[in-house]
Amino acid sequence: MKKICLYTFLLSSLISFWGCKKDTYPGGQISPYIAIFDIRNLHRGQDLVLNTDNLKGSDRLAAMVVSDHSGGNLPAGLLVVQDARRLSMLRGISIPLGEAAAGFVPGDSVIINIEGKTLSREGGVLQIKGVTAGDVQKVSSGNTIPINRVTIGQMQANPDAYESTLSVIVKGTFDPLPAPTDVLSGNKTLNDGFGDILLQTESAAAFANDSAYVTANYYGIVFNVEAKEGQLVPQFRVRTGKDVVKLSSKIEVAPVLITGFMSDAAGADGNNEYVQLMATTDIDFAVTPYAVVVTNNANASTPTGYPAAGWATGNMRTYKFSLSQGKAAKGTFFYVGGANKLINGPNSTSISAANWIRAFDYTKNDGDGFGLKTGGLLANSGNASGIAVFRDSAVTVNSTPVDVMFISTGGSLFQSGKGYRIANTDFYDIINPITMAQQPFYRQGSNTLALSYNTADMGYFNMLGGIYNPALGKWVRARAQNNVLLTKTSALSAIEGEGATVLK
């Protein structure tokens, strides 16, 4: 009992001691700067006066200027700034500042007092109104603005996220194609392979009479407009003539496209793998021969190491089908692969009635010119495999394909000029469209995109889809992996019904 009383006394004394001790810890301090991401999330469709309560104690923005009024193509008087203070999420906002907006240029770091100002959406663009020139302090100039490559599809899917940010649309092409005398002035439909957006160029802009290129990169700012139903629709404005970087004035049409493949049938793969292709023009293969080459970079494939001869390496690394007979009409599918001509491995539906340009038993026969007989054309190990189409039956180390597609990224693929050459496609670029550096091989530079490897022995057909426009020489809707799980009774329509489309 005495022990209990003693413990109670000591505990009471300690509590009393802690409660009376003066607290010298200053505690956390709220940052005076709020992220634009948080500002934008405050808007709920109605105007909102900003104060330290709804700003959670903050009252300023610390942001980077991206607007440039020297070209005369941005909405007059708008200062456009962006930051990535919240979770590295880049967001921008527009500030109507009047004539003072022209005094700021891209790369200016500014601090903006926003307490007591009004958050409002006007004409589709979210703005902070009431800011004066005295509320904006320039901290530094000449700062580098990171390149933000954004597809038009991303802008359309989330217009609020990209509004008032500096972005670059890569490999943009006008639809319809411009005539040699066409200029930028006016509203034109711009396509990057992932969607269409309206490119706005004021007739009074300093660069309005610059040539409209066949293919170019467009650096600019997204401004939304409100449709009748209230949804936001993104539009794009470049700031000056330097924001348009010419890539090409030549249309290169891929005559054959890779549109799908069966790399791992349900059951044994031997003699059951095949590649689905589509012609973008009428082809008589006896007159104009082609070749399809596949590469298998599984660990057991020889020769090991980086492929010194590229697609022509042969042995167990690459295997060639020469296409020198048969015909394919524009916009139709044709096939290359094993002699079984079955949709999904042993005891599955025969698709021999399809247009097979080249098919033979690759488990018993070497390839046409190179490649040893094999039980599997494409790797099932998770290491990279690939398919390439060549406009000639002869394929050498220097041959450049007209189309190419890779699955996975593992294995010895590229090093010091040894590797698999790529084509200019919706996935790959021989010249880096941002840096303009040469990158003719897979896994070099920005050429890192690949399809995913599917679970083994399930019978997935890799349908790639997409819409190709021969008039533009490009995919106006890029290919994407659509895994179609086939059964043993699946019909040919299962792999052709919703496949790729070639526009007339």
The whole-angstrom separation of Cα 368 and Cα 392 is 12
What radius of gyration do the chain's Cα atoms show? 30
Average pLDDT score over residue span 87-104: 97
The pLDDT assigned to 25 comes to 44
Average pLDDT score over residue span 203-226: 96
In a domain, 31, yes or no: no
Asked whether 81 and 64 are in contact (CB, 8 A), the reply is yes
Q: Which of 274, 262, 212 is nearest to 460 (CA)?
A: 262
Residue 216 sits in a domain whose CATH number is 2.40.50
Q: Strand, helix or coil at 460?
A: strand
Please tell me whether residues 441 and 311 are part of one structural domain: yes
Report the number of distinct structural domains present in the chain. Answer: 3
Average pLDDT score over residue span 181-202: 96
Q: Which of 115, 161, 107, 155 is nearest to 135 (CA)?
A: 115
Please tell me whether residues 367 and 257 are part of one structural domain: yes
Beta-bridged to residue 484, according to DSSP, are 461
Return phi, psi of residue 173, to 5°: -130, 135
Question: Considering 140, 162, 189, which residue would you say is the last residue of a domain?
Answer: 140
In a domain, 402, yes or no: yes
Q: Residue 56 corresponds to which tokens in the numbers above? A: 């959670």
CA 334 to chain centre: 28
In a domain, 295, yes or no: yes
Q: Which of 481, 482, 422, 474 is nearest to 448 (CA)?
A: 422
Q: Residue 66 corresponds to which tokens in the numbers above? A: 């991206």
Q: Strand, helix or coil at 80?
A: strand
- Do β-strands 196-201 and 232-238 pair in parallel, antiparallel, or remain unpaired? parallel
pLDDT band at 230 (very low <50, low <70, confident <90, very high): confident
Q: Residue 121 corresponds to which tokens in the numbers above? A: 């959406």
The whole-angstrom separation of Cα 193 and Cα 253 is 14
Q: Residue 43 corresponds to which tokens in the numbers above? A: 């808007």
The pLDDT assigned to 106 comes to 98
The pLDDT assigned to 18 comes to 37
The whole-angstrom separation of Cα 47 and Cα 69 is 27
Please tell me whether residues 290 and 369 are part of one structural domain: yes
Please tell me whether residues 271 and 403 are part of one structural domain: yes
- pLDDT exceeds 80 at position 351: yes
pLDDT tens by residue, 319-344: 999 999 999 999 999 999 999 999 99
Please tell me whether residues 109 and 219 are part of one structural domain: no
Asked whether 325 and 464 are in contact (CB, 8 A), the reply is no
In a domain, 29, yes or no: no
**Which residues contact residue 20 at a Cβ distance below 8 angstroms, ignoring those fewer than 6 apart?**
none
Q: pLDDT: is 368 or 4 the higher one?
A: 368
Q: 123: burial class by Cβ within 10 Å (0-12, 13-18, 19+)?
A: exposed
In a domain, 372, yes or no: yes
Can you give the length of the chain in residues? Answer: 504
Return phi, psi of residue 431, to 5°: -115, 130
- pLDDT exceeds 80 at position 382: no
- pLDDT exceeds 80 at position 90: yes
Please tell me whether residues 458 and 322 are part of one structural domain: yes
pLDDT tens by residue, 409-461: 999 999 999 999 999 999 999 999 999 999 999 999 999 999 998 877 899 99
pLDDT tens by residue, 460-500: 999 999 999 999 999 999 999 999 999 999 999 999 988 89
The pLDDT assigned to 19 comes to 39
- pLDDT exceeds 50 at position 259: yes
Please tell me whether residues 278 and 207 are part of one structural domain: no
351 lies in which domain range? Answer: 251-504
In a domain, 259, yes or no: yes
Question: Considering 216, 248, 280, which residue would you say is the last residue of a domain?
Answer: 248
Asked whether 236 and 190 are in contact (CB, 8 A), the reply is yes
The pLDDT assigned to 379 comes to 87
The pLDDT assigned to 28 comes to 61
pLDDT tens by residue, 143-191: 999 999 999 999 999 999 999 999 999 999 998 899 889 999 999 999 9
The pLDDT assigned to 29 comes to 76
Q: Which of 176, 260, 234, 178 is nearest to 211 (CA)?
A: 178
Which residue type occupies 458? M
* Residue-wise DSSP of 351-396: -TTS-EEEE--TTTS--SSS----S-SS--SSB-EEEEEESSS---
Asked whether 222 and 155 are in contact (CB, 8 A), the reply is yes
Please tell me whether residues 234 and 257 are part of one structural domain: no
The whole-angstrom separation of Cα 276 and Cα 403 is 13
The whole-angstrom separation of Cα 48 and Cα 120 is 7
Please tell me whether residues 266 and 349 are part of one structural domain: yes
The pLDDT assigned to 27 comes to 53
Please tell me whether residues 226 and 350 are part of one structural domain: no
Phi-psi sector, 314: left (phi>0), alpha (psi -120 to 50), beta: left
Please tell me whether residues 257 and 226 are part of one structural domain: no
The pLDDT assigned to 3 comes to 40
The whole-angstrom separation of Cα 310 and Cα 444 is 14
Question: Considering 205, 222, 248, which residue would you say is the last residue of a domain?
Answer: 248
Q: Which of 97, 192, 181 is nearest to 151 (CA)?
A: 192
Return phi, psi of residue 71, to 5°: -85, -10
pLDDT tens by residue, 14-69: 333 333 344 444 556 789 999 999 999 999 999 999 999 999 999 999 999 999 99
Average pLDDT score over residue span 260-278: 95
In a domain, 7, yes or no: no
In a domain, 120, yes or no: yes
The pLDDT assigned to 299 comes to 87
Please tell me whether residues 279 and 221 are part of one structural domain: no
Q: Residue 373 corresponds to which tokens in the numbers above? A: 């007989």
CB atoms inside a 10 Å sphere around CB 156: 16
* Residue-wise DSSP of 124-173: TEEEEET--GGGEEEEES-PPPPP-B--HHHHHH-HHHHBT-EEEEEEEE
Q: Strand, helix or coil at 400?
A: coil
Asked whether 404 and 258 are in contact (CB, 8 A), the reply is yes
Q: Which of 167, 165, 168, 169 is nearest to 82 (CA)?
A: 165
Q: Residue 413 corresponds to which tokens in the numbers above? A: 């693929």
Whether the model clears a pTM of 0.75, i.e. scores above it, the answer is yes
CA 456 to chain centre: 27
pLDDT tens by residue, 99-143: 999 999 999 999 999 999 999 999 999 999 999 999 999 999 999
